[in-house]
Amino acid sequence: MSMTEDPRVMIQFGFLLCLTGLLVAPLISATMRRSTSARRADAAFIIGSLLIGAAVGAAVLWHGEAADLDLSRLAPFALALKVDRLSAFFFFLICTVSAPVTLFSIPYAQQHYSEGRATWFWVLLPLFVLSMVVVVTAATGFAFLFGWELMTLLSAALILLEGDSDDRRHNAFIYLLMMHVGAAAVAACFFLFLGQASNLTFEAMRSAGASLTANVRVWVFVTAMFGFGMKSGIVPLHLWLPRAHPIAPTPVSALMSGVMLKTAVYGLVRITFDLLGGPAGWTGYVVLLVGAVTAVLGILYALGEHDLKRLLAYSSVENIGLIYVALGAAMLFAATGLPTLAALAVIAALLHALNHAFFKSLLFLGAGAIHHSTHTLDIENLGGLQRRIPVVGVSCLIGCCAIAGLPVFNGFVGEWLMFKSLLAGGELHAIGGLPVLPLMIGVVGLVSGLSAACFVNVYGISFLGRPRTPQAHHADHTPRAMQVALVFLASGCVLLGIWPGLVLRPLLSLVAIIIPGAGTPSELQLISHVLPVLAGSMVALLLASLALPRVKRLTDTWACGLPELSPRMEYTASSFSKPIRSVFAFVYRSDRKIEVTPAEEPYFPQAMSYRSARTTSFEKSFYRPLVDTVIAAAQQLRRLQTGNVQVYLLYIFLTLVCLLFLLRFSR
């Protein structure tokens, strides 16, 4: 074997090893002895496979040597996988984030599941990760759809594993329903290529992409946008996110939100930039607009929540919106012949996807750790956790800073690149008349200001102040495995925030393939140089200021002369977000009811009750009528089903006649 072939063989071997590992792990957990040490060994096996996968992803991203695997002969359809640079990036993302999540799952599964369920959990988890890997590495439409469907089913199974109630079933049903409607759209999108392509391998689709008629291209985009939008939760298709995430097991929520949503981003990039051979200008505007609406509404809904997991789910909606904004800008640039700027915007989108995977899974796992320690996820019941579980606290603080897009944490880099590419859109007046892209800076600015408010709220109310309930007061110790997982993800957030060059350079070689003619945007160089300097001087100044000698004395918080403050006097998450919610009241439209008894004496009440419920306006004014229409149509269709054999025979006969007619006249 010569030296030049060495990396290729290693990559290929590693890829196979990772896939085999993820496939064998469930078999091991299903068959082995059910002891704690055996579980740990099994988890270690999964983590090992994932780390190999991450290394393979990084190697492909760096070298560009593709790994592939063709199983078409073993499968009834064309099942081939190929890791090119774009796939490698998402493959890397999946593996790197899934590894700490798996580690976190060890104590989680131990605490939450009986033996039988734990076995199921350890069977389903690696398969779920594997299904996502299949989606992003698929080289044929069938392999993609196969992975896509498995991903939905396995995550739904994991949701139902957590427990069983009518409510849970209902939410899981909505999840499955929406995912399948989305999957149908994705399938339709692939099949639209069949007019020109002889088969559904990506290679054939790619060469057919350019020769598709304008009409078909429109439909390809619309179905892709709808299908992938459903998965990634763009408004108004986001309905499943705040329903499915809170009921899923915490590690699975972390994977669904941090990783699974990104497969949809992958799909959209693959279709529009790669397979279609470049987007049209108007699609850029559509994606941009959808992204902006999604981002603003997502973060506003998040601000209105105080259930930690629902809040994080809505914040995922927001971040997906930001990714779409960057993608939309990229499409506009690509369509107007500015490949270097398009490259910058795509890099911003992909980097934000990676960053979001890190900080969102960090925060979901943090929520899991909080739940482990306090048995509640309602922020209003927490408080004072920083002193009780400091490792979780510091990790979550890093996560909150990162998600709020503050500098020297990774979230900032993505948002900065987004700002720069939108600013460069000032050169684009020729096509729009209005400087749409620079105006988007205002939207992104509003969103990041709101998300800073949202995450001050999250961290400040749950980790700072005095504990609001006994559970928070007696918060338990967090297991070591959970702490390690959190610290790993948090250090990822810091590392990518200070040395973004680590991923920016490989990302540049990635986009050079999907956007032909792209040069090197100077912004990448700039940010990779500025951030280390900024972080260095910040740390130096912080240490210098901390070194100042201080005389300290412990006192009580000032209580306006009262003997003591009770935790009920503290600000809560709802009161914190109240000013913002009242400014944006038109978004929330909450139903409030104040009942005063007795009603005839409103000024001297004996009892008052206050109730405020929020349903998003989409549920009321969009989904409810839609569902009602579908059900009404189904009721009408029921008339066909008489249960009478003769009638069914008539149906068969009529169908036959129709088909014959069709055959006769279609010639």
Partner 1 sequence: MKLALNFVQVALLLLTAPLLRGIVAKLKARIQRRKGSPVWRPYAEIWKLLRKEQLLPRDASGIFQLGPIVAFVTTLLAAAFVPVFQNTALFGGAGDIFIFVYLFALGRFFVSLTALDPGSSFGGMGASREALVAALSEAPLLLALTALAILAKTSSIAEITAWTVGQNFFDVSAVHALALAAVAIVAVAETGRLPVDNPTTHLELTMIHEAMVLECSGPSLAFIEWSQALKLNIVAALIMALFLPWGIATRLTPAALALGLAWFVSKIGFMALLLAFVESSVAKLRMYAVPNFLQVASALAILAVIFTAVMKR
Q: Which residues 537-596 are close enough to bind partner 1 by CB under 8 A?
A: 537-538, 541-542, 545-546, 548, 550-559, 565, 567, 569-571, 575-580, 582-583
**Alpha helix positions (H), 138-234:** 141-161, 166-191, 202-209, 214-232
Instruction: Indicate the residue among 426 and 598 with the shorter CB distance to partner 1.
Output: 426
Instruction: Indicate the residue among 188 and 423 with the shorter CB distance to partner 1.
Output: 423
Work out whether 406 is an interface residue with partner 1 (CB under 8 A): yes
Query: Closest separation between CB of residue 516 and partner 1, Å?
Result: 26
Which residues touch 90 (CB under 8 Å, ≥6 apart)? 136, 262, 263, 266
CA angle 574, 575, 581 (to 5 degrees): 70
Query: Which one of 156, 188, 446, 596 is in contact with partner 1 (CB under 8 A)?
Result: 446
Stretch that binds partner 1, among 197-205, 347-355, 536-544, 655-663 (CB under 8 A): 536-544
Stretch that binds partner 1, among 20-28, 51-59, 120-128, 450-458 (CB under 8 A): 450-458
Give the whole-angstrom CA distance, residue 26 versus residue 638: 43
C-alpha 525: how far from its chain's center?
28
Stretch that binds partner 1, among 37-45, 189-197, 215-223, 458-466 (CB under 8 A): 458-466
Query: Closest separation between CB of residue 456 and partner 1, Å?
Result: 5
| Tokens linked to 582 | 């009242």
Stretch that binds partner 1, among 77-85, 256-264, 393-401, 501-509 (CB under 8 A): 393-401
Contact criterion met (CB below 8 Å) for 48 and 20 = no
Query: Which one of 153, 157, 216, 456 is in contact with partner 1 (CB under 8 A)?
Result: 456
Instruction: Indicate the residue among 171 and 457 with the shorter CB distance to partner 1.
Output: 457
Query: Closest separation between CB of residue 441 and partner 1, Å?
Result: 5
Instruction: Indicate the residue among 3 and 554 with the shorter CB distance to partner 1.
Output: 554
Contact criterion met (CB below 8 Å) for 565 and 466 = yes
Work out whether 404 is an interface residue with partner 1 (CB under 8 A): yes
x/- map, 414-433, partner 1, by CB under 8 A:
-xx--xx--x--x--x---x
| Tokens linked to 78 | 């064309």
Query: Which one of 229, 233, 405, 479 is in contact with partner 1 (CB under 8 A)?
Result: 405
Instruction: Indicate the residue among 280 and 461 with the shorter CB distance to partner 1.
Output: 461
The residues in 475-534 that bind partner 1, with binding defined as CB under 8 A, are 526, 529-530, 533-534
Instruction: Indicate the residue among 49 and 448 with the shorter CB distance to partner 1.
Output: 448
**DSSP string for residues in 241-300:** HHHHHHHS-HHHHHHIIIIIHHHHHHHHHIIIIIISSS--HHHHHHHHHHHHHHHHHHHH
Instruction: Indicate the residue among 445 and 519 with the shorter CB distance to partner 1.
Output: 445
Stretch that binds partner 1, among 10-18, 96-104, 176-184, 461-469 (CB under 8 A): 461-469
Work out whether 459 is an interface residue with partner 1 (CB under 8 A): yes
Task: Answer left, alpha or beta for residue 624, where phi above 0 means left and psi between -120 and 50 means alpha.
Answer: alpha
Give the whole-angstrom CA distance, residue 595 versus residue 611: 9
Query: Which one of 164, 375, 431, 445 is in contact with partner 1 (CB under 8 A)?
Result: 445
CA angle 268, 138, 328 (to 5 degrees): 10
According to DSSP, the β-strands at 67-70 and 591-597 are unpaired
Whose tokens are 């099942």? That residue is 79
The sign of the CA dihedral 202, 204, 207, 211 is negative
Instruction: Indicate the residue among 119 and 577 with the shorter CB distance to partner 1.
Output: 577
Query: Closest separation between CB of residue 296 and partner 1, Å?
Result: 10
Give the whole-angstrom CA distance, residue 580 versus residue 304: 9
Instruction: Indicate the residue among 386 and 483 with the shorter CB distance to partner 1.
Output: 386
Q: Closest Cα partner for 86 from 255, 272, 225, 359?
A: 272
According to DSSP, the β-strands at 607-613 and 591-597 are antiparallel
Give the whole-angstrom CA distance, residue 381 versus residue 395: 20
Query: Closest separation between CB of residue 613 and partner 1, Å?
Result: 22
Query: Which one of 412, 479, 481, 616 is in contact with partner 1 (CB under 8 A)?
Result: 412
Query: Which one of 7, 48, 438, 501 is in contact with partner 1 (CB under 8 A)?
Result: 438
Query: Closest separation between CB of residue 424 and partner 1, Å?
Result: 9
Stretch that binds partner 1, among 15-23, 161-169, 374-382, 408-416 (CB under 8 A): 408-416
Instruction: Indicate the residue among 249 and 467 with the shorter CB distance to partner 1.
Output: 467
DSSP symbol at 337: T
Instruction: Indicate the residue among 404 and 498 with the shorter CB distance to partner 1.
Output: 404
Torsion angle in degrees (nearest 10) through CA of 37, 42, 44, 47: -160
Q: Closest Cα partner for 363 from 413, 404, 324?
A: 404
Give the whole-angstrom CA distance, residue 417 versus residue 428: 18
Instruction: Indicate the residue among 390 and 602 with the shorter CB distance to partner 1.
Output: 390
x/- map, 363-392, partner 1, by CB under 8 A:
--------------------xx-xx--x--
Stretch that binds partner 1, among 197-205, 271-279, 454-462, 589-597 (CB under 8 A): 454-462
The residues in 648-667 that bind partner 1, with binding defined as CB under 8 A, are none
Which residues touch 476 (CB under 8 Å, ≥6 apart)? 372, 373, 374
Work out whether 463 is an interface residue with partner 1 (CB under 8 A): yes
Containing 443, the helix (H) or strand (E) segment is helix 436-463
Instruction: Indicate the residue among 324 and 419 with the shorter CB distance to partner 1.
Output: 419
Q: Closest Cα partner for 447 from 297, 584, 616?
A: 297
Query: Closest separation between CB of residue 533 and partner 1, Å?
Result: 8
Stretch that binds partner 1, among 135-143, 274-282, 350-358, 457-465 (CB under 8 A): 457-465
Give the whole-angstrom CA distance, residue 333 versus residue 423: 12
Give the whole-angstrom CA distance, residue 206 versus residue 545: 58
Instruction: Indicate the residue among 35 and 555 with the shorter CB distance to partner 1.
Output: 555
Query: Which one of 163, 442, 598, 625 is in contact with partner 1 (CB under 8 A)?
Result: 442
Instruction: Indicate the residue among 231 and 388 with the shorter CB distance to partner 1.
Output: 388
First-to-last C-alpha distance (Å) of the chain:
59
